[in-house]
Amino acid sequence: MSQQHPDRSTPSRPARPDASMSLLNNVMEHSLDDGYAEVAARRGAEGRAGLPRTLRAKLGLAAGLVLAALVVTLGAAQARVEAPAIAKEKEKLIERIEDGNKRADTLQKSVDRLRSSVDKKQRAALEKYGGERARRVALLSGAVPVEGPGVKLVVNDAETKDSPSGSGEGPREGGGFSETGRVRDRDMQRVVNGLWESGAEAVAINGQRLTARSAIRAAGDAILVDNKPLVPPYTLLAVGPGAKLSKTFQDSVDGQYLHVLRKDYGIRSSISVRDEVRLPAAPSMIVRTAKPVKTEKGSTS
């Protein structure tokens, strides 16, 4: 019995060349997942129904720019409206300050005139009704101007304000002052007292007459005489027996004190005899009167 073999003459279907790459073909043909594809289709439908996304973004940006420009414009307009008002207030304030300064100057001039008038009347009364004794008192108190022979003493700070070249064992030791070449109020006090003790009849510093009530003080580094600041160099004019006054002062303790300040601290000073010295009257003199008081026994004191 013959064995039957399949019909080899029937041709078989040829295999696809990419049969072994079916997974890769699937990925290439369907690059998006079904869910992604559905969402993309829905967004496309919405875009066709409304405005494109790029157009909406441009419109939003334009609206923001318009709003910003509106805010800036309104701010500038408000500033322009308020500027004139602020300028007017400033001008009014300046006018008030200037008017106040003018009134203050006018009042100060009036006070100076009244003070000068009172001083003249007081001095005239002393000279007229006081006799020789009153004139002597007026001279010593500084109520009247004075002139005569005397001395001129100039005291000035050292040329540099560096530390002194001396040993520091000078008359200022322990005085509470920094050891520099600057003239202090206590230095000026000693110099003035030395002139009085040496026989000066009247003394003035930088044109300001000194009296028994004058105060020499300090405010920082400045020297004040009756609360008026002095500027170096300090020029002292003293009325008295010129040559004798000069020698007596230089030989006195206070004259030696000034000599040590010049030697150890560089403070500059010079004294000269003058044939005529003119001193003004002291400002704002106050005239006081006294009356005898009776005691219990009837006597006066």
Instruction: Give tens-digit pLDDT for 168-195.
Output: 444 554 444 445 788 999 999 999 999 9
Sheet with 222-225: strands ordered across: 216-219, 222-225, 228-230
Q: What was the pLDDT predicted at 212? A: 81
Q: What was the pLDDT predicted at 166? A: 42
How many CA atoms are closer than 13 Å to the CA of 113, on its beta-carbon side?
6
Closest listed residue to residue 147, CA positions, set 240, 235, 246, 213: 240
Q: What was the pLDDT predicted at 278? A: 92
Question: Which residues, in sequence order, are CB contacts of 9 under 8 Å at separation 6+?
Answer: none
- Percent of the chain clearing pLDDT 90 (strictly above): 30
Residue range 85-139, pLDDT digits in tens: 777 788 888 889 999 999 999 998 898 888 778 777 776 776 676 666 666 676 7
Find out whether 164 and 260 touch, Cβ atoms under 8 Å.
no
> Cα(140)–Cα(240) distance, rounded to whole angstroms?
12
> Cα(299)–Cα(292) distance, rounded to whole angstroms?
10
Q: Which residue has the tokens 């008030």?
A: 96
**Which three-class secondary structure state does DSSP give residue 154?**
strand
| H-assigned helices in 130-213 | 131-141, 185-197
Find out whether 272 and 149 touch, Cβ atoms under 8 Å.
no
Q: What was the pLDDT predicted at 270? A: 94
> Cα(246)–Cα(272) distance, rounded to whole angstroms?
7
Q: What was the pLDDT predicted at 75? A: 79
Please list, residue by residue across 42-67, b when 16 or more beta carbons sit within 10 angstroms of its beta carbon and e when fewer do.
Answer: eeeeeeeeeeeeeeeeeeeeeeeeee
Q: Is 78 left (phi over 0), alpha (psi -120 to 50) or beta?
A: alpha
Q: For residue 21, what are its two tokens?
A: 């790459």
Q: Which residue has the tokens 């003790």?
A: 197
User: Which range, of 78-82, 198-202, 211-215, 254-258, averages the lowest pLDDT?
Assistant: 78-82
Q: What was the pLDDT predicted at 260? A: 92
Q: Say whether pTM exceeds 0.95.
A: no
- Percent of the chain clearing pLDDT 70 (strictly above): 65
Q: What was the pLDDT predicted at 148? A: 92
User: Which range, of 5-19, 22-36, 163-177, 226-240, averages the lowest pLDDT?
Assistant: 163-177
Query: Which of 39-48, 80-89, 216-225, 238-247 has the highest average model confidence (pLDDT)?
Result: 238-247
In the structure, what pLDDT confidence band is assigned to residue 213 with cuts at 50, 70 and 90? confident
Q: Which residue has the higher pLDDT, 266 or 125?
A: 266
Is the pLDDT confidence value at 200 over 50? yes
CATH 3.40.50.150 for domain 147-279: no
Q: What was the pLDDT predicted at 42? A: 66
Give the mean model confidence (pLDDT) for residues 58-74.
83
Q: What was the pLDDT predicted at 169? A: 45
User: Which range, of 65-74, 181-190, 199-208, 267-276, averages the lowest pLDDT?
Assistant: 65-74
> Cα(192)–Cα(208) distance, rounded to whole angstroms?
13
Closest listed residue to residue 193, CA positions, set 143, 238, 227: 238
Find out whether 130 and 138 touch, Cβ atoms under 8 Å.
yes
In the structure, what pLDDT confidence band is assigned to residue 62 with cuts at 50, 70 and 90? confident
Find out whether 214 and 119 touch, Cβ atoms under 8 Å.
no
Q: For residue 178, what are its two tokens?
A: 């920094």
The whole-chain average pLDDT of the chain stands at 77
